[in-house]
C-alpha cells in the first residue's frame, strides 16, 4: 500500500513528551502513514524510547544537533508519503487529523491544507488559536492573499497544522532555515512558501494540540526573540526576490507585536528608529490594512519616539 502521509517529528531531549506525541500519531484513523522521528543529537534516552515502539511505520534517524529546521529537512529528504505533515515532540494530534486533512487534500487538489490549533495550558484550559475558516481558495494574487490571510494570522505561521503535497516540495525547493539564526523557522518557511502556493484549503476544526509551557519556543528571552524576528524579516525582504514588498504589512505588525514584550529596552528604541522598520510601517499603510491597524500604524509612524513607545507598549500585543 502506498504511503498517504509522512509525519516528520524533530526532537531534541524529548524523553518527557515523545511517547505521548508518537502515540497520538500512531493512533490516527488514517493508517497508511509513516512516522519519521529525527533525533537531533539528544543527550537523554529519547532515541531508546522511540526504538521501543513496536510499530513498523515508525522510523528513527539520528543526527548531530543542527536545530529543528535542519532536522525537518532531514525528515523531508527521506519521506515517501504523498503528503507531508509535521508534529513537534511536545504536542499531540487529534485522532482524525490526518484522515480529515488527507481527504480534503485529495478532494480539492490543494497544495496545502491547514487545520485549526488548540492551545493547551498547564491549568487544563484549551483555547482555539485561529479564527475558524472552512474554505478552499485559489491564490491568484499573492500580495492580496498576504495582506488578508497572512498578515492577519488566518494563514497561521506554524507548520504543524499543515499538510503539504510532497510534490510541492519537489517543485518549489522550499526548505527550512537555520533555527539557531532565526527565532521562527516556521515563519520564514511560510513566507518562502507563499511565492509558490497556488491553492490552499482551510479546515476550521482544531485538530492539533499545541502545549503551552514556560520552556516552550515562544517563552524565550523577549529581547533576543525580538532581535531575531527583526533579523528574519530584514534578511527575507532585502535578500529574497519578492517584489511589491509582499511582507511589509506582516513585518510591521509582527515586529510591533514582539516589541510590546521588550518595549523598555535599548533594542526596542533602536528598531523603532531604524530605516528598515520605518519603511515597513510606511509601506503597510498603502496595503489592505484593517481600519484599526491603519490607525495604529499611522500613529507609530508619525508620533515622537516617547509617545511611540507608550503606544506600542500598550497596544502592540493586541494587534490581531
Q: Which residue has the cell 513607545?
A: 309
Is 80 exceeded by the pLDDT of residue 197? Answer: yes
Quick one: pLDDT at residue 317?
A: 75
Quick one: pLDDT at residue 80?
A: 97
Q: Which residue has the cell 510499530?
A: 55
Grid cell locating 42: 539528544
Considering the chain, what percentage of its residues have pLDDT values greater than 70?
95
- Residue 136 in 3-state DSSP? strand
Mean pLDDT of 106-135: 96
Grid cell locating 259: 516589541
- Residue 257 in 3-state DSSP? helix
DSSP state of 150: I
Quick one: pLDDT at residue 219?
A: 45
Please, which pLDDT band fits residue 240 given cuts at 50, 70 and 90? Answer: low
For the segment 132-187, what is each residue's pLDDT rounded down to a tens digit? Answer: 999 999 999 999 999 999 988 999 999 999 999 999 999 999 999 877 777 778 99
Between CA 234 and CA 176 the distance in angstroms is: 17
CB atoms closer than 10 angstroms to residue 265: 15
- Residue 126 in 3-state DSSP? strand
Looking at the chain, how many residues does it have? 320
- Residue 34 in 3-state DSSP? strand
Q: Which residue has the cell 487538489?
A: 109
Mean pLDDT taken over the chain: 92
For the segment 271-307, what is each residue's pLDDT rounded down to a tens digit? Answer: 999 999 999 999 999 988 889 999 999 999 999 999 9
Q: Which residues pair with 34 in a beta bridge?
A: 6
For the segment 211-235, what is each residue's pLDDT rounded down to a tens digit? Answer: 997 555 444 588 998 999 999 999 8
Quick one: pLDDT at residue 120?
A: 96
Grid cell locating 128: 482555539
What sign does the dihedral 225-154-70-197 (CA atoms) show? negative
Question: In 140-168, which positions are buried (b, 16+ CB within 10 angstroms) versus exposed (e)?
Answer: eebbebbbbbbbbbbbbebbbbbbbbbeb
For the chain, give every domain's residue range. 5-217, 220-318
Architecture field, domain 5-217: Alpha-Beta Complex (3.90)
Quick one: pLDDT at residue 246?
A: 83
Residue 170, classified by CB atoms within 10 Å of its CB into exposed (0-12), middle (13-18) or buried (19+), is exposed
Amino acid at each position: 500500500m502506498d504511503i498517504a502521509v509522512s509525519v516528520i517529528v524533530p526532537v531534541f531531549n524529548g524523553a518527557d513528551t515523545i511517547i505521548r506525541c508518537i502515540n497520538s500519531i500512531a493512533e490516527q484513523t488514517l493508517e497508511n502513514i509513516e512516522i519519521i522521528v529525527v533525533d537531533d543529537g539528544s543527550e537523554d534516552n529519547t532515541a531508546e524510547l522511540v526504538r521501543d515502539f513496536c510499530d513498523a511505520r515508525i522510523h528513527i534517524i539520528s543526527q548531530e544537533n543542527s536545530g529543528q529546521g535542519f532536522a525537518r529537512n532531514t525528515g523531508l529528504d527521506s519521506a515517501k508519503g504523498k503528503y507531508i505533515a509535521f508534529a513537534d515532540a511536545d504536542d499531540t494530534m487529534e485522532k482524525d487529523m490526518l484522515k480529515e486533512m488527507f481527504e480534503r487534500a485529495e478532494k480539492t487538489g490543494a497544495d496545502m491544507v491547514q487545520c485549526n490549533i488548540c492551545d493547551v495550558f498547564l491549568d487544563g484550559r484549551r483555547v482555539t488559536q485561529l479564527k475558524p475558516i472552512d474554505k478552499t481558495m485559489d491564490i491568484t494574487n499573492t500580495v492580496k492573499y498576504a495582506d488578508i490571510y497572512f498578515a492577519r494570522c488566518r494563514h497561521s505561521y506554524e507548520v504543524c497544522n499543515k499538510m503539504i503535497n510532497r510534490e510541492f516540495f519537489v517543485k518549489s525547493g522550499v526548505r527550512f532555515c537555520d533555527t539557531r539564526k532565526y527565532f521562527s523557522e516556521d515563519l520564514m518557511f511560510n513566507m518562502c512558501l507563499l511565492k509558490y502556493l497556488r491553492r490552499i484549503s482551510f479546515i476550521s476544526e482544531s485538530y492539533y494540540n499545541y502545549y503551552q509551557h514556560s520552556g516552550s519556543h515562544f517563552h524565550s528571552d523577549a529581547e533576543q526573540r525580538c532581535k531575531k524576528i527583526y533579523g528574519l524579516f530584514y534578511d527575507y525582504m532585502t535578500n529574497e526576490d519578492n517584489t511589491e514588498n509582499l511582507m511589509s504589512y506582516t513585518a510591521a505588525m509582527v515586529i510591533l507585536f514582539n516589541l510590546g514584550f521588550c518595549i523598555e529596552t535599548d533594542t526596542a528604541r533602536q528598531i523603532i528608529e531604524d530605516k528598515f522598520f520605518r519603511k515597513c510601517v510606511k509601506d503597510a499603510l498603502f496595503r489592505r490594512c484593517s481600519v484599526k491597524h491603519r490607525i495604529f500604524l499611522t500613529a507609530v509612524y508619525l508620533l515622537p519616539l516617547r509617545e511611540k513607545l507608550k503606544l506600542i507598549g500598550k497596544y502592540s500585543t493586541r494587534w490581531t
